[in-house]
């Protein structure tokens, strides 16, 4: 036993000496309280989280660095009172001048966040490796990850029916098993990204779905403070059920503007229209190729009260925030940020134009006999505050006014839904 302790101590000292490191650690306490009334289509729930993190950091020559960071947490929710999780365990090495001055290679390995440029297709902590080749003006990034060791309550990898069936199944310990690959090349202004996920459920699954995505995205500067925000994604997939394979074609597109004005009380505004294909019963050229619902790897939350799946949807999202006291010497006042937003939702018009029937959408109280495309409007308002560096608060309320009754998209059972979300974050 003594020998084991001695070896552990020696290894620790060697690691410390090898890094000659700067170390830091801390505790974060986060609560998220979610109150709702009426019908809602979001998956939020109140949760309380305590996280312990530690980091070792070593700066190297020419701005390079070696960084090791880990975070474990305990999370409480009413549905799952005991969730102990490893949120983050990441080595990040930045090797400067790897190919000469003005270049670098960044290697990340372990458990860390993977995301696509829009965060609409992939946004998830995964176990994997990522290598980035960095140059002035652009970068090339390669990544591969496995999702099967992420705890089921922490995994948002939901693509097939089997994946969704396991969301609230407490007997399933880990999330869906997928191999996810990523190739990114470009800059902030224009980037081309290829993503793919391979279903590793094996023969026991009801359905095996593999999907591939090719995405063009960017936020180029138009004039001072004004940026174009665009993304265009084509997706191809293979769905196999009972040895029958269907080939899936789908798409996602977005076009909008972002505006920032530091001189106007740090104003931020954005307007973006996003479109995701719905099932259109047409068969393209070859048998078994179908235009269908867009399938993101990790379904995003696109609204506060009404957050339908990112498929068969066309929506406009507007938001504005500002810091009315940003020049004030008081940190408490300076870090107050009121914000308002609105989202207008429609179904994908193409299935209706092609067949005369609007495609189905997996939301509550949809009127099955209606072909109406307009679904409703969500309005939100809130305030974000950071009175101290170690304390942050956010209060956001919203209402979704559905287009309900008669021939409208929702049945008359669907009333106005309300949500109040309160987040408190503290660092110790």
Partner 1 sequence: MKKTAIAILVVVALVVVAGTVSAQTSVVLSSVTGKVEIQNPGETAWQAATAGAEVPLRATISTGFDGRAVLQMGASTVTVGPVTRLRIDELSMQNNVVKTNLVMPVGRIRAVVKSTGGAKNDFTVRGALSTAAVRGTGFDTDGVRTNVFDSTVSLFSLSGIGIDVHSGESGFVPGGGLPSGGSGQLNAYTGVSSSTSNTGGGALQGGLPGTGYGTITINWAF
Query: Between 255 and 372, whose beta carbon lies closer to partner 1?
Result: 255
Query: Between 169 and 329, whose beta carbon lies closer to partner 1?
Result: 329
- Subset of residues 76 to 95 that bind partner 1, contact rule: CB under 8 A: 87-88, 92, 94
Part in contact with partner 1 (CB under 8 A); list of ranges 9-17, 194-202, 363-371, 379-387: 379-387
Under the binding rule (CB under 8 A), the answer on residue 115 touching partner 1 is: no
- Subset of residues 311 to 350 that bind partner 1, contact rule: CB under 8 A: 321, 323, 327, 329, 335-337
Under the binding rule (CB under 8 A), the answer on residue 118 touching partner 1 is: no
Percent of the chain that is helix, strand, coil (3-state, to 5): 10, 55, 35
Go through 144-160 and write b for each residue having 16 or more CB atoms within 10 A of its CB, e for each that does not: bbebbebbbbbbbbbbb
- Subset of residues 261 to 300 that bind partner 1, contact rule: CB under 8 A: 261-262, 266-268
Query: Between 45 and 99, whose beta carbon lies closer to partner 1?
Result: 99
Residue with the two structure tokens 């179908």: 290
Of 31, 33, 36, 103, the residue at the interface with partner 1 (CB under 8 A) is 103
Query: Between 25 and 173, whose beta carbon lies closer to partner 1?
Result: 25
Query: Between 35 and 283, whose beta carbon lies closer to partner 1?
Result: 35
Under the binding rule (CB under 8 A), the answer on residue 377 touching partner 1 is: no
Under the binding rule (CB under 8 A), the answer on residue 51 touching partner 1 is: yes
H/E run at residue 254 = strand 244-261
Query: What's the longest Cα–Cα distance across the chain?
Result: 78
- Subset of residues 173 to 232 that bind partner 1, contact rule: CB under 8 A: 188-189, 219, 221, 224-225, 227, 229
Residue with the two structure tokens 């979300």: 421
Name the minimum Å distance from CB 147 to partner 1. 20
Under the binding rule (CB under 8 A), the answer on residue 72 touching partner 1 is: no
Contact criterion met (CB below 8 Å) for 83 and 76: yes
Backbone φ and ψ for 155, nearest 5 degrees, come out as -95, 130
Name the minimum Å distance from CB 49 to partner 1. 10
Show Cβ contacts of residue 351 under 8 Å, excluding neighbours closer than 6 positions: 278, 279, 280, 281, 312, 357, 358, 359
Under the binding rule (CB under 8 A), the answer on residue 255 touching partner 1 is: no
Show Cβ contacts of residue 108 under 8 Å, excluding neighbours closer than 6 positions: 90, 91, 92, 93, 129, 130, 131, 132
CA 360 to chain centre: 24
């Amino acid at each position: 036993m003594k020998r084991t302790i001695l070896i552990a101590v020696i290894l620790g000292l060697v690691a410390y000496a090898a890094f000659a490191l700067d170390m830091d650690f801390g505790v974060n306490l986060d609560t998220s309280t979610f109150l709702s009334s009426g019908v809602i289509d979001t998956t939020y729930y109140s949760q309380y989280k305590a996280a312990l993190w530690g980091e070792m950091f070593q700066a190297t020559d020419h701005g390079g660095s070696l960084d090791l960071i880990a975070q474990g947490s305990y999370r409480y929710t009413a549905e799952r009172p005991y969730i102990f999780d490893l949120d983050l365990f990441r080595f990040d090495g930045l090797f400067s001048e790897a190919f000469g001055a003005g270049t670098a290679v960044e290697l990340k390995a372990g458990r860390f966040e993977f995301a696509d440029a829009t965060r609409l297709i992939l946004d998830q902590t995964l176990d994997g490796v990522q290598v980035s080749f960095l140059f002035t003006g652009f970068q090339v990034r390669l990544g591969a990850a496995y999702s099967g060791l992420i705890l089921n309550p922490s995994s948002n990898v939901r693509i097939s029916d089997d994946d969704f069936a396991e969301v609230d199944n407490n007997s399933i310990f880990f999330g869906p098993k997928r191999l996810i690959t990523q190739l990114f090349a470009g800059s902030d202004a224009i980037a081309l990204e290829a993503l793919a996920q391979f279903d590793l459920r094996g023969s026991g699954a009801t359905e095996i779905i593999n999907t591939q995505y090719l995405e063009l995205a960017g936020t180029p500067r138009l004039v001072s403070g004004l940026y174009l925000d665009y993304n265009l994604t084509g997706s191809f997939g293979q769905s196999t059920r009972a040895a029958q394979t269907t080939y899936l074609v789908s798409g996602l597109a977005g076009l909008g503007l972002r505006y920032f004005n530091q001189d106007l009380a740090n104003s931020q505004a954005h307007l973006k229209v996003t479109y995701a294909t719905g099932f259109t019963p047409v068969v393209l050229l070859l048998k078994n190729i179908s235009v269908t619902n867009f399938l993101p790897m990790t379904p995003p939350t696109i609204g506060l009260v009404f957050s339908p799946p990112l498929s068969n949807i066309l929506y406009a999202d507007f938001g504005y925030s500002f810091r009315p006291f940003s020049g004030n010497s008081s940190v408490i006042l300076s870090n107050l940020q009121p914000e308002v937003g609105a989202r207008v939702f429609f179904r994908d018009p193409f299935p209706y134009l092609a067949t005369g029937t609007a495609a189905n959408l997996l939301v509550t109280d949809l009127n099955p006999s209606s072909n109406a495309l307009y679904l409703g409007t969500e309005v939100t308002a809130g305030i974000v505050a950071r009175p101290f560096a170690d304390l942050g608060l956010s209060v956001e309320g919203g209402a979704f006014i559905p287009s309900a009754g008669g021939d409208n998209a929702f049945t008359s059972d669907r009333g106005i839904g309300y949500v109040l979300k309160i987040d408190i974050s503290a660092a110790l």
